[in-house]
Structure 1
């Protein structure tokens, strides 16, 4: 094996002092749907419910191997990386200062504090991550601390490669296809580098959220680029710029093997796994599984591994996930309806609804004219085709309307 492969295997062995290998599970439900032998690498079942503990552990381990007197480590993160660093600081009995945005949910702050205990200090600073990162790096320079990057570090990449080491050891064979998410590129570059190093004939598909497709942008430009805007819903993979070291590994990825998935559609997979399998996945953790919908023909009859990268999901977000899933499936729509101000108009409209249609929201916005008023109405149904009949009846009845379901600007203010 190559030097990188040997280092990844060594890192995997060292991790057994910290936690056992995450499970590899064959999934009968997904295998039946896609006519393939589908396995899940359950990184949502590590001690911190994500793979991030691997890179943090390996990076700190390597620093302490060469600089055993290093006492202070720093990171900037609002999520999984923070929890991984906290856990590893406690394991090595080193002090960690974890910088988090002031907007970080209390649940994530509490979990980070639990994992690190007395070994960590949490500093809340900055409204946006870039501000938090700048504060963390300034602190490192001032205090002589070691900065633990969430992805753009060779030792982090090497640590994330342990996912592939375990996967092959557990399966006893190399899979035909591996599907994994991309954020900053630490996991994807680690797995890619290891499979290349052992000369595995495995087809790789890398999956990005549509609102944070930094790898696709970098491949098109031939170098890492910074996205102008990023949709933060898939927070575990919402990164504006892929890492330089990670892109060096991924730069030869065929563009048609990088898929972009709409954020709302990811929610349908999250709900399906929760309701059918009892598996709790965060949005980034569901990316690889959701991509199966687009890869049905490529994976048919093959042995496929999806990396379920994380399960740090706050159930307070469940209503939003359900809402997004319904909209993605076409089962819920929002309209601004111009309602005639005459007796019987509302009753006439209600008569247009079918037996499977339900009003989920009804709100008068304003009386726009003496004879008409604007109404915001949300409708749920059991079959997306029902909306075709409803809009046809509204047209025939002379009810002017506008579908604002996918109008992000109006939705943000009205829904």
Structure 2
């Protein structure tokens, strides 16, 4: 047994005084679909609905053991890390100051306050996370506090490795294949360091934050120029230096990238069929199964569902993105003739499985034609073949803007 494995087991054992192991559950729906033994490691069922309290616990436990005079911990986070730190501040009876961007949703602020109670204070600073992080680090230096990194810290990495310790104990050994999300790399670095090469490992990133893939290509951590924060639990601009050091020798094929719109289809599927609420990052490992049928068939596969902190106010957006990805919803700019009966002619093109989800005049002042933004939902993607053919036959001038990022951002 390596020193890291021993430390990870000690961290996992110490956690039992705070919370129970998260379940490792066989999922019949996914197992039947992929012809494999699919088990979900339900980190979304932890006390803070993510694995982040593991790293926070271990880093705070070891810091307090080394410096008993520490009275204040400081972190910067807009989500799961903040909640994990808040929970552990109350557990250890220490003060925590948590910096969050001004743009943080009130739901996340409220949950952080609930978990921390009187032990934590929250400071809203900066519109973007980098500004928040700088403010937190400057404050920490000023007051002599202890800064808690969300991922790029050896004690955090060691704490996140407790996920692997539990999987091994619950399964009675190692799985054939392990799939887990990667953001800053704390979870993936810890799990890989514990399991070594005994398990086939696949790490999944959102397309809008593929910092591991960029680092593997460059041979070192690099900062992404743009990050899509939809999968905010894994959308990181730059992987940590310490975490990448533990992942640098990965085969690039082990790091896969998932489209955020496709991810929405998995979130809805798990909610509607299984009753499992997953945040976007928490659904990454499950969504990856769609690309791995031949690789995992007949194998024992563990997917880590890393978080379930999902604000249901985002559900309409998730449904919208899933429908567009699945091809059952499209948006068009249609030139509508300004004459009696033109709208009726258009409506007659639609079939019994088609519905108008949006209808908005963009330009009414034209004398002969008016521009209309129209959204159409249907039950099957192939129905659009018939709709478009009928539009062409009727002589309607239209433009499909469903995948036009610029127009969709302003109009949809």
User: In which range does the TM-score fall when normalised by the shorter chain?
Assistant: over 0.9
1:195 matched residue in structure 2: 195
Please show how residues 115-264 of structure 1 align to structure 2 within 5 Å. Answer: 115-196=115-196, 199-200=197-198, 202-264=199-261
Of the candidates 298, 305, 309, which is equivalent to residue 301 of structure 1?
298
Please show how residues 22-41 of structure 1 align to structure 2 within 5 Å. Answer: 22-41=22-41
Please show how residues 45-84 of structure 1 align to structure 2 within 5 Å. Answer: 45-84=45-84
3-state secondary structure, aligned to 1:280? coil
3-state secondary structure, aligned to 2:334? strand
Q: Tell me how far apart the structure 1 counterparts of residues 16 and 388 of structure 2 sit (CA, whole Å).
A: 59
Deviation at residue 66 of structure 1 after TM alignment: 0.8
Deviation at residue 371 of structure 1 after TM alignment: 1.2
Are the aligned partners of 1:368 and 1:374 in contact in 2 as well (CA < 8 Å)? no
1:394 matched residue in structure 2: 391
Please show how residues 106-121 of structure 1 align to structure 2 within 5 Å. Answer: 106-121=106-121
1:283 matched residue in structure 2: 280
3-state secondary structure, aligned to 2:230? coil
3-state secondary structure, aligned to 2:191? helix
3-state secondary structure, aligned to 1:338? strand
Q: Tell me how far apart the structure 1 counterparts of residues 402 and 242 of structure 2 sit (CA, whole Å).
A: 40
Per-residue deviation, residues 286-341 of structure 1 (Å, max 9, x unmatched): 00000000111111110000000000001111111111111111111100111112
Deviation at residue 363 of structure 1 after TM alignment: 0.4
Deviation at residue 368 of structure 1 after TM alignment: 6.8
Of the candidates 308, 313, 320, which is equivalent to residue 311 of structure 1?
308
Deviation at residue 353 of structure 1 after TM alignment: 0.7
Structure 2 segments unaligned to the other structure (5+ residues)? none
Q: Tell me how far apart the structure 1 counterparts of residues 111 and 211 of structure 2 sit (CA, whole Å).
A: 29
3-state secondary structure, aligned to 2:229? coil
Q: Tell me how far apart the structure 1 counterparts of residues 161 and 268 of structure 2 sit (CA, whole Å).
A: 29
Deviation at residue 122 of structure 1 after TM alignment: 0.5
1:44 matched residue in structure 2: 44
Structure 1 runs of 4+ off > 3 angstroms?
Answer: none
TM-score w.r.t. structure 1 length? 0.98
Q: Tell me how far apart the structure 1 counterparts of residues 344 and 112 of structure 2 sit (CA, whole Å).
A: 54
Q: Tell me how far apart the structure 2 counterparts of residues 234 and 170 of structure 1 sit (CA, whole Å).
A: 29
Alignment RMSD (CA, Å): 0.9
Of the candidates 338, 350, 353, which is equivalent to residue 353 of structure 1?
350
TM-score w.r.t. structure 2 length? 0.99
1:377 matched residue in structure 2: 374
Are the aligned partners of 1:339 and 1:374 in contact in 2 as well (CA < 8 Å)? yes
1:332 matched residue in structure 2: 329
3-state secondary structure, aligned to 2:109? helix
Deviation at residue 367 of structure 1 after TM alignment: 3.6
Deviation at residue 103 of structure 1 after TM alignment: 0.8
Aligned residues: 412
Deviation at residue 178 of structure 1 after TM alignment: 0.3
Of the candidates 399, 403, 408, which is equivalent to residue 406 of structure 1?
403
Structure 1 segments unaligned to the other structure (5+ residues)? none
Deviation at residue 82 of structure 1 after TM alignment: 0.2
Deviation at residue 369 of structure 1 after TM alignment: 3.8
The answer on 1:322 being equivalent to 2:322 is: no
Per-residue deviation, residues 113-165 of structure 1 (Å, max 9, x unmatched): 11111111100110110110000000011000010000000110000000000
3-state secondary structure, aligned to 1:229? coil
Q: Tell me how far apart the structure 1 counterparts of residues 60 and 83 of structure 2 sit (CA, whole Å).
A: 14
3-state secondary structure, aligned to 2:7? helix
2:88 matched residue in structure 1: 88
Q: Tell me how far apart the structure 2 counterparts of residues 407 and 242 of structure 1 sit (CA, whole Å).
A: 30
